[in-house]
Structure 1
Amino acid sequence: MPAFLTHPAVLGAAMVATFMTLIMTRRMSAVAALLAVPIAFGLLAGAGPDLGRMILEGVGQVAPTALFLGFAVLYFALMMDAGLFAPLVRGVLAVVGRDPVRISLGTAVLATLVSLDGDGTSTALIVISAFLPVYRQVGMNPLILATLLGLSSALVNLLPWGGPAARAAAALHVDLADVVGPILPAMLAGLAVVFLLAWMFGRAERRRLGWVPGAPAVAAPVGQPEAEDDARRPTLLWFNLALTLALLVGMISGLAPLPVLMMGAFAVALTVNYPRLADQRARFAAHADNVLQVFLLIFAAGVFTGILNGAGMADAMASAVLSVIPPGVGPSMAVIAGLAALPLSFVMSNDAYCFGVVPVVAKAAAAFGIEPVAIARASLVGLPVHTLSPLLAPIYLACSLLKVEVGEAQRFALKWAVLVSLVLLIAMGLTGAIPWRA
């Protein structure tokens, strides 16, 4: 085999491409591909003796996330069974009716507002809990819900408490306010595009469903049925609401680690709403499939990232991308950094990208007179694409709750994510947040 084929960058790119091809063409499930593909490429890279260590390190990194998401799915499933979200669903329907345009626009509005807490997982749980029953009743495509949720959340996460901007600022030792302030107009431009997409999706669904004002909606044949009546706990509505609000406040304030808060809230909710052991077993049986899927996907993703990082493939891919940039485009490094953020943030974790790649780009750009803060801003352009990364936990959570395949969601949403990222880049250039050319 030629030596260049075993280079970590080549193997890493081939590994990601193989994984994406297999899941997007439905040749393998996401879980099977997340396990088989990295192991095969790890062996090709000659890392066989170290694969066990890499896998354990990767799984160890995602274990807290898996714990949190697993109990989060159980907690919010209990709240749905108990009827906590029934008034919210009725309220949403009262506002948006059964008009697909108003429903999709309402999805974007709620996702934008809830995303202000800076936590993508809680945003996904709340928005899906509120809108998925509406989508089912009307017969709308749940992939629209997933796409609007991901794009809105990604853009709002540009705010200081969202995380990505803070990472970029810390990596380049620049002031966070200097990073975020100038990109706010671009963020608003991106949100405008998301709302335009919501309107377009709604119009398309109107045509597909044959919706006209006053006409009854077509019921969706997919998804889980509503919880049975004997699982409802209407007398505990205010208790469940107070418990959920307290949980969200604790998560936002950082009162305790997220897994601790979620496990504690779940234990209280289960005991109060379903004190009989038989009822508890019934709730476990009803939602075991969702929880198992989340655990399998998150731990399998840990295997993927453990081998990708441990075998040096992620770092090698980043270095290879940077090395092929022609010297003549040096003065346009800010724009190049923004464009490079799309593929790199898709195949790398936030920390690996911000602390491994962005400083290298900033150092190269400084030679052409481009300030580090401009590179920090440009590095955030890829966030809409990053939300679809197979390395992120929230996409597996959302797809599990929506009962759709990860590859199906990526295939539907990726082109729109690229569009929003390009709008971000252009808006940053037009508003002076990044220079077109030094």
Structure 2
Amino acid sequence: MLAILGFSMVAVFMYLIMSGKLSALIALMIVPAAFAVFAGFGSSLGDMALAGITELAPTGVMLMFAILYFGIMIDAGLFDPVVGKILKAVKGDPMKIVVGTAVLAMIVSLDGDGTTTYMITISAMLPLYQRLKMNPLILPAVALMAVGVTNLTPWGGPTARAASALSLDMQELFNPLIPVMLAGAVWVILSAYWMGKQERKRLGILSMEELGQPGEEKSYLTFFGTAAVSEEEAKWKRPKLIWVNFTLTIVLMAMLILGVMPLPILFMLAFAIAITVNYPNVMHQKERIAAHAGNVLAVVSLVFAAGIFTGILSGTEMVDAMANSLVAIIPDSMGPHLPVITAITSMPFTFFMSNDAYYFGVLPIIAEAASAYGISPIELGRASLLGQPVHLLSPLVASTYLLVGMAKVDFGQYQRFTILWTVGTSIVMTIAAVLFGVISL
């Protein structure tokens, strides 16, 4: 019964946001609360929701100060030279712009953090998409696809969870996945090429003259037309501090990868240093914080709303019932094929539940069942990671709300546009894993 309620809750939630009948923010709060009351958990509704919010609180804090930090870096002009280089390379060709987006996102996302990847990629590329009037859904779709591949790095999160849950050696788990990730990267580039070709057909290639490319003596930012830098924006630029800001950002990324301290604290301290160095005047600091308050509110409110959803899903034990029911329907005759089955089912599993719930709750059950057929846990661990490109599109992933918010697109429309591309990424990586002998058929 709980499993049916759980699947029904997820189905209703997805229908409401993808049909545009409710915003993601409202649906994340209303739908689970209604199902919890219907299932007879009304008396513990508050405690379950609060537990979920508490669990996601560090993520909310991290995103708040990450947005503020990168907002300050953007205001100060840290990424201006990056966009300038990209502009020279892609010119007015939509195909090159989309492929450039994929390459940039994959390079940046090697640090294993989707949040910073989205912030840098969207900040660098969004003005180009806006100026050429390209489909705004393509930018976040390609960025997410790129992160879905590089998210398999040992420091990305899912791989560490799989290794911990099954007590596996990280090197033995990850190294065979490298050619699989390369195959996924090729798919992302080819997908970006195809999307770009479609946009090129629709829009054509614009010359630099048509785009209003400035002369060498002018700022390249005047290229962006409606997004051009106004006098108000120009006064916040700090070109003399670009190397200071660059060094600060590199140090931040290094400390993030090394795990020197929790991410929320890292971003809080980095933001404090960044705003003090770039805008020592207190009134200026208040103005910059106020300028980014809208982005902060839009993203963080969704994170805490998602806390209610996950808190109720876990507190009612619906997520456990859903996991057990899905594992139970696998017939014994399919036992020898569990690695491929795990790779395929990891897409819906990790879409409908958090990585923690899947890797620490579901994966050990599957691994135990697979042992009866002589299948090693290491093979199941690798297979379980192949659904991660789809997982990132889940409404339970906080960084996806940041991506959607920065790209200024509707969450439901974005999911409809991106879902088949991410499923394609997982399928390509699964086929590559079988061909390279990473998992058995």
> Smaller-chain TM-score range?
over 0.9
**2:136 match:** 142
Cα 1:433–1:139 shift into 2, 3 Å: same
Residue number among 187, 199, 204 corresponding to 1:205 in the alignment: 199
Cα distance per residue 1:39-89 (max 9 Å; x no partner) = 001111211111111111101111111111011111111211121211111
The match for 1:151 is 145
When the two structures are aligned, how many residues end up with a matched partner?
A: 430
Q: Show the counterpart of 1:77.
A: 71
Which among 357, 380, 384 is matched to residue 385 of structure 2?
380
Correspondence for 2:273: 268
Q: Which residue of 2 aligns with 1:410?
A: 415
Distance change (3 Å), C-alpha of 1:223 and 1:235: closer
2:111 to 101, 114, 117: 117
Q: Residue 331 and residue 388 in structure 1: after superposition, are their counterparts in 2 closer, same or farther (change >3 A)? A: same
Q: 1:134 corresponds to which letter in structure 2? A: L
Q: 2:185 aligns with which of 165, 172, 191?
A: 191
Identify if the C-alpha distance between structure 1 residues 222 and 312 changes in structure 2 by more than 3 Å, giving closer, same or farther. Answer: farther
The question of whether the paired residues in 1 share the 8 Å contact of 2:340 and 2:439 is answered with yes
Q: What pairs up with 1:343-358 in 2 under 5 angstroms?
A: 343-358=348-363
Q: Does 1:313 pair with 2:307? A: no
Q: How far, CA to CA, are the matches of 1:62 and 1:223 in structure 2? A: 34
Pairwise CA distance, 1:225: 7.4
**Which of the numbers 341, 344, 348 marks the counterpart of 2:346?**
341
Could you give the per-residue CA deviations for residues 303-332 of structure 1, whole angstroms, max 9, x where no partner exists?
Answer: 110001111111111111111112221221
Alpha carbons 2:306, 2:395 under 8 Å: kept: yes
Match of 1:4 in 2: none
Cα separation, partners in 2 of 1:165 and 1:388, compared to 1, 3 Å: same
Report how far residue 220 of structure 1 moved. 8.6
Task: Tell me if 1:427 matches 2:421.
Answer: no
Q: 1:352 to 1:223 in 2, by over 3 A?
A: farther
Write out aligned runs for 1:224-239 (5 A): 228-239=233-244
What is the deviation of 1:348? 1.0
Q: Provide the C-alpha distance between the structure 1 equivalents of 2:85 and 2:131, rounded to a whole number of angstroms.
A: 14
The whole-number CA distance in structure 2 between the counterparts of 1:316 and 1:213 is: 58
Which one-letter code corresponds to 1:427 in the other structure?
A
Distance 1:122 1:159, change over 3 A: same
1:29-44 correspondence runs (5 A): 29-44=23-38
The superposition leaves residues 196-227 of structure 1 with CA deviations (integer Å, 9 ceiling, x where unpaired) of 00101111111222325667359999989777
Question: In the alignment, is the contact (CA less than 8 A) between 2:152 and 2:159 conserved in 1?
Answer: yes
CA shift, 1:274, in A, is 2.2
Deviations 1:3-59 (A, max 9, x none): xxxx11111101111111111111111100000001001111211111111111101
Alignment-derived partner of residue 279 in structure 1: 284
Q: Which residue of 1 aligns with 2:12?
A: 18
Separation (CA, whole Å) in 2 of partners of 1:348 and 1:17: 13
Q: Which amino acid aligns with 2:383?
A: A
- Are 1:391 and 2:396 counterparts? yes
- Name which of structure 1's ranges 269-278 and 153-162 shifts more when overlaid on structure 2: 269-278
* 1:121-136 pair list within 5 angstroms: 121-136=115-130
The CA distance in 1 between the partners of 2:341 and 2:168, in whole Å, is: 20
Distance (whole Å) between structure 2 residues aligned to residue 434 and residue 286 of structure 1: 49
Measure the CA separation in 1 of the matches of 2:240 and 2:427.
49
Query: Which amino acid is the alignment partner of residue 302 of structure 1?
Result: G
Structure 1: runs of 5+ lacking an equivalent? 1-6
Question: Relative to structure 1, is the Cα distance of residues 375 and 281 closer, same or farther in structure 2, using a 3 angstrom cutoff?
Answer: same
Does the 8 Å contact 2:127/2:224 carry over to 1? no
Residue 277 of structure 1 deviates from its aligned partner by 3.2
CA RMSD of aligned residues (A): 2.0
Q: How does 1:91-106 map to 2 (within 5 A)?
A: 91-106=85-100
Q: Which letter does structure 2 place at the counterpart of 1:135?
A: Y
Partner AA of 1:167 in structure 2: R
Q: For the residues of structure 2 that align with 1:96 and 1:222, how far apart are their CA atoms?
A: 20
Does residue 300 of the first structure (1) align with residue 300 of the second (2)?
no
Q: Is the 8 A contact 1:84 1:241 kept in 2?
A: yes
Q: Which SS does the other structure have where 1:435 is aligned?
A: coil
Contact 1:334–1:434 at 8 Å: present in 2 too?
Answer: yes
The residue type equivalent to 1:414 in the other structure is I
TM-score (norm 1): 0.93
Q: 1:389 to 1:369 in 2, by over 3 A?
A: same
Structure 2: distance between partners of 1:417 and 1:223: 30
The more displaced of 276-285 and 405-414 is 276-285
Q: Partner of 2:373: helix, strand, or coil?
A: coil
Give the CA deviation at 1:287: 1.6
Native 8 Å contact 2:92 2:206 kept in 1: no
Measure, in 2, the Cα distance between the counterparts of 1:128 and 1:212: 21
Aligned match of 2:41: 47
Amino acid at match of 1:317: M
The answer to whether the 8 A contact 1:223-1:403 is kept is no
3-state SS, counterpart of residue 231 of structure 1: coil
Q: State the identity as a percent.
A: 49
Give the letter aligned to residue 177 of structure 2. I
Q: Which amino acid aligns with 2:315?
A: G
SS state of the match for residue 26, structure 1?
A: coil
Report the TM-score when normalising by structure 2.
0.93
Report if aligned partners of 2:91, 2:207 keep a CA contact under 8 Å in 1: no
**Residue 386 of structure 2: SS of its match in structure 1?**
coil
Pair 1:171 & 2:165 matched: yes
Equivalent AA in structure 2 for residue 329 of structure 1: M
Residue 245 of structure 2 is matched in structure 1 by 240
